[in-house]
Structure 1
């Protein structure tokens, strides 16, 4: 199990969660942030600081956002496990679901 960032983060990216994450597992895409499922240690430090309540423990995701487990995991298909978002920096892409979110 891991923490997951869901739809409320799209186009917000407050980044308070990044500052709280002790293992640097929250990565920045173009339109939202993503938690690396293999790097997350399930500490929960990120969840209470999210101003839009977009972070959920995987088992607590609302049903309408359940697919964000896959969205977060699939974001790392090309990146692998870089071992820290700070050294990676912003990633110039999003998961296809996020990229097309809100598109007419």
Structure 2
């Protein structure tokens, strides 16, 4: 099992999860974070830290968001590791909980 960042992170990009990760498995894009499934040690420390509730165990990803399992694996190979927390995107609160955000993902 590994953990997966799902749609609600898009255009929010809170990094509270990064601060607690003991293995630096988060990778950063312009408006989204992903978890490297090869590095994640399944500790689950990141799950309660995500203000957007966007992180799930790969076998608990909500219906309709299973594509994020492969997306995390794909993008973690090309995006840089994020080892320190930073500020969320300026309009993160406005986007939190919005549906159909995959169209806004910046690769």
Task: Tell me the TM-score normalised to structure 2 length.
Answer: 0.74
Q: Which has the higher helix share?
A: 1
Q: Which SS does the other structure have where 2:59 is aligned?
A: helix
Counterpart of 1:69? 69
Q: Which SS does the other structure have where 2:4 is aligned?
A: strand
Equivalent pairs counted in the alignment come to 89
Counterpart of 1:85? 82
Gaps of 5+ in 2: 85-100
Q: Which SS does the other structure have where 1:65 is aligned?
A: coil
In 2: Cα distance, 1:19 partner to 1:76 partner: 18
Preserved CA contact (<8 Å) 2:18 2:83: no
Gaps of 5+ in 1: 88-96
Preserved CA contact (<8 Å) 2:27 2:76: no
Map of 1:1-104 to 2, 5 A cutoff?
1-78=1-78, 85-86=82-83, 98=102, 100-101=103-104
CA RMSD of aligned residues (A): 2.2
After superposing on structure 2, the runs of 4+ consecutive aligned residues of structure 1 that deviate more than 2 Å are 76-79, 84-87
In 2: Cα distance, 1:25 partner to 1:78 partner: 13
